[in-house]
Amino acid sequence: MLSVDFEKQLSGFHLRPSFDADEGLIVLLGPSGSGKSLTLRAIAGLLRPDAGRIELPSGVVFDSAARIDVVPQARSVGYVVQDLALFPHLTVAENIAFGLHGWPKERQRERVRELVELMSLDGLETRLPRETSGGQQQRVALARALAARPRVLLLDEPFSALDAPIRNALRREVSRLRRQLGLLALFVTHDLQEAFALADRIAVYDDGAVLQCGPRDEVFRTPATVRVAQLLDARNLFEGRVVSKTEAFTEIETPWFRAKARAEGDLAPGARAALCVRPEHVILLRRDRPHTNQLDTTLDVELIDELATGNNHRLYLKVAGAEECIIEADVSAHPYQVMGVASRREWRVALTLDQTVAIPLADA
Amino acid sequence: MAIPARAAIGIDTTRAFAPLALVFVAFVALPLVALGWRAVDSGELAGNVTSELVLDAMRLSAITSTIALVIAVLFGTPLAYLLARRDFPGKVVIDVLVDLPLVLPPTVAGVALLVAFGRRGVLGGELDALGIELAFTTTAVVLAQVFVSAPYYIRTVKAGFESVSPQYEGVAATLGAGPLRVFWRIVLPLAWPSVLAGAILCWARALSELGATLVFAGNFPERTQTMPLAIIGVFDSGSSVDVAIALSVILVLAAAVLLVLLRLVARQAARPSL
């Protein structure tokens, strides 16, 4: 059980995160400076909130009403900071064993051996941190944090300084370890891909507050606000008004087109709402082929620009007859070639009903 | 025609500066060479160095400066750590206070110590009642040395502590280490070069202390006459200048050794730490 709900006034910044989780890996996602790292510091006991409550699997560690403030030493957290902070004058083995102070010598040696094996650090035990590679330093920091068997693992952008291949390998390793050890883990990142790859739950941060927290797919599928959708890089957001609502769908009228979104939520006709569909859920069609699903919204579009992003092509499509209305669509390399996207400008898109969501907007 | 490279221009500039630089080097080197030459030329260096006056002064200097260093380390280390890590009201005042002896004429320090701890000083009555007499004793020599030399230690060590990222202490705390263990195992080892450098500077300053000692402790052989004071004593009593020269040679050698040590420590510290 993890429950975080506190506030802290810092010079020019009001930190007031609130989220909870039962288990798994929770990603704190948000732009830099939104308070993710400070939240970890508060959970670790290195930043004292002004008010609120923090509960960890080891118990309530902070509660301003009950005057509880457990020292960092007793919170049973493993904390990997962004710059790792490996003790530069201690060897790899000494770094890993640092948290085992007070254990019998023989059990310390045993535990260090276990972790060296778990993290594939064999042969590096007597080296100083600076004599190991970046990826190895990451694993030493992880091993050091895990050594005393903490109940929570806090990871603050631990892979941001590494090259992509090592980063991917380490992400998989963290996922595997967490499952293997059954740990609750908090992972701070501003990288959407990393968040998606790792998260069971996502807490979306903006300017010191958590805007939305929930299971990963739910947050991606149903952003609670336009700001969340923007932070999750949803790209296609169109303001409009609800014109009708049935059991099957909510129909939204935007200044440029009408479209159907999922029926969930309590948006009544006349309410302001934003239509949101991620580029990967916009389906590209040829205009001369009929689209079978009648509930999907189809729009005639004109291809005006594109950007190749490795596996994908991001297409910028102008809605026919509407100036300044661009829909972004991702097409993967294979269909891009088969359909001959590069050779024609006239297309049609389908916004699949299941992936199109209506986000409530405050009345202007 | 080839355009002169930047380096070539640089070399020309340094050539132009060389004569001025050399004049200064000669100015510093000449007295020191003269000192050594006179010491050897007199043919009595060995005799002077082993004379009672010189041996007494050396012994007293060694003992007092070492005790002064120990006191500076004992009280200065916690103060330096506090100044490096904590913000508190009045910190600026303490910061300035610690620095003040660095720029104060040592004789002023001596007068101040006398006014505070002398028989007729602010604490004179209380000390007298306890049967403690400080002024013009060996203890006064140590106090004078601590007053003027400890700031060198505190300054240097404070900078050393500041260069250790507080991140280490935070992480060490989450790993279960209490404040004292964090200090001994993490902060002190990482700041070690600064501690050594501070200690060397502090000791060197204590060894060369003259003005404050002269005012607060007086110039009494065996009791308060350290080596720098013994040199004054030689001139005052009109005895052989060669004794003063012998003392000077010893002090120059000690200073040189300490400076070399300082260089070695600095080189050690310059090694990349991660």
- d(CA A137, CA A143) in angstroms, rounded, equals 10
**Facing B167 at nearest CB: one of A45, A85, A102:** A85
Structure confidence by residue, pLDDT tens digits, A280-309: 999 999 988 888 788 899 999 999 999 998
Same domain, B117 and B238: yes
Residue of B nearest to A128 (CA): B274
From residue A39, alpha-carbon distances to A54, A61, A85, A143, A154 in Å are 10, 14, 18, 22, 10
How far A135 CA sits from the closest chain B CA (Å)? Answer: 14
Q: Name which of A134-143, A157-166, A321-330, B18-27 the model is least confident about.
A: A157-166
Q: Do A148 and B177 touch (CB under 8 A)?
A: no
SS3 state at A204: strand
CATH number of residue B72's parent domain:
1.10.3720.10
Encode B188-219: b = buried (16+ Cβ within 10 Å), e = exposed.
bebbebbbbbbbbbbbbbbbbbbbbbbbbbbb
Same domain, B172 and B37: no
Q: Do A88 and B274 touch (CB under 8 A)?
A: yes
- d(CA B218, CA B205) in angstroms, rounded, equals 18
**Percent of chain A whose predicted confidence (pLDDT) is above 90:** 75
Structure confidence by residue, pLDDT tens digits, B15-49: 888 899 999 999 999 999 999 999 888 888 888 88
Which residues, 6+ apart, have CB-to-CB distance to A177 below 8 Å?
A118, A142, A146, A183
Q: Is residue B212 part of a domain?
A: yes
The answer to whether A276 and A222 are in contact (CB under 8 A) is no
Same domain, B229 and B110: yes
Residue of B nearest to A103 (CA): B176
Q: Do B176 and A148 touch (CB under 8 A)?
A: yes
Residue B186 touches partner A, C-beta closer than 8 Å = yes
> Does the structure show a pLDDT above 50 at A173?
yes
Enumerate chain A positions whose Cβ falls within 8 A of a Cβ in B: 41, 44-46, 71-73, 75, 77-79, 81, 83, 85-89, 98-99, 101-102, 129-130, 144-145, 147-148
Same domain, B10 and B86: no
Number of H helices, E strands in chain A: 9, 22
Bridge partners of A20, per DSSP, are A3
Strands A2-10 and A18-21: antiparallel
Strands A59-63 and A68-69: antiparallel
Chain A partners within 8 Å of B177 (Cβ):
73, 98-99, 101
Bridge partners of A54, per DSSP, are A4, A62
Predicted structure pTM score: 0.84
Same domain, B17 and B98: no
Which residues, 6+ apart, have CB-to-CB distance to B16 below 8 Å?
none
Q: Is residue B274 part of a domain?
A: no
- 């380390």: which residue's tokens? B73
Same domain, B147 and B195: yes
Same domain, B61 and B33: no
Residues of chain B with pLDDT under 50: 272-274
Q: Which residue has the higher pLDDT, A181 or B20?
A: B20
Domains of chain A plus CATH, in order, are: 2-226 (3.40.50.300), 234-360 (2.40.50.100)
How confident is the model at residue B274, as a pLDDT?
A: 40
Same domain, B12 and B148: no
Q: Do A73 and B178 touch (CB under 8 A)?
A: yes
How far A65 CA sits from the closest chain B CA (Å)? Answer: 24
Chain B partners within 8 Å of A102 (Cβ):
176
Structure confidence by residue, pLDDT tens digits, A63-104: 999 999 999 999 999 999 999 999 999 999 999 999 999 999
Encode B246-266: b = buried (16+ Cβ within 10 Å), e = exposed.
bbbbbbeebeeeeeebbeebe
Structure confidence by residue, pLDDT tens digits, A214-236: 999 999 999 999 999 999 999 99
- d(CA A170, CA A159) in angstroms, rounded, equals 8
Q: Is residue B217 part of a domain?
A: yes
Q: Is residue B19 part of a domain?
A: yes
Which residues, 6+ apart, have CB-to-CB distance to B167 below 8 Å?
A81, A83, A85
How confident is the model at residue A206, as a pLDDT?
A: 96
The residue range of the domain holding B174 is 50-269
How far A109 CA sits from the closest chain B CA (Å)? Answer: 17
> Does the structure show a pLDDT above 90 at A170?
no
Contacts 24+ apart (CB under 8 A), A55-60: A55/A1, A55/A2, A55/A3, A55/A4, A56/A1, A56/A2, A56/A151, A56/A152, A57/A1, A57/A2, A57/A151, A57/A152, A57/A184, A58/A151, A58/A152
How confident is the model at residue B4, as a pLDDT?
A: 57
Nearest to A92 by CA among A53, A157, A138: A138
Q: Is residue B90 part of a domain?
A: yes
Same domain, B96 and B142: yes
φ, ψ of residue B205 to 5 degrees: the values are -65, -40
What's the domain count of chain B?
2
Paired tokens of B228: 């720098």
Same domain, B132 and B27: no
ipTM over 0.90: no
The answer to whether B184 and B226 are in contact (CB under 8 A) is no
Helix H, strand E, coil C: the string for A123-141 is CCCCCCHHHCCHHHHHHHH
Same domain, B54 and B33: no
- Mean pLDDT, chain A, whole residue set: 92
Structure confidence by residue, pLDDT tens digits, B239-272: 778 889 999 999 999 999 999 998 888 887 765 4
**Percent of chain A whose predicted confidence (pLDDT) is above 70:** 99
How confident is the model at residue B237, as a pLDDT?
A: 80
Q: Name which of A110-119, A126-135, A316-325 the model is least confident about.
A: A316-325
Structure confidence by residue, pLDDT tens digits, A5-47: 999 999 999 999 999 998 899 999 999 999 999 999 999 999 9
Same domain, B249 and B171: yes
How far A223 CA sits from the closest chain B CA (Å)? Answer: 35
Nearest to B187 by CA among A178, A90, A276: A90
The answer to whether A73 and B178 are in contact (CB under 8 A) is yes
How far A34 CA sits from the closest chain B CA (Å)? Answer: 20
Q: How many CA atoms lie within 13 A of B232 on its CB side?
A: 17
- d(CA B68, CA B61) in angstroms, rounded, equals 10
- d(CA B3, CA B9) in angstroms, rounded, equals 10
How confident is the model at residue A266, as a pLDDT?
A: 81
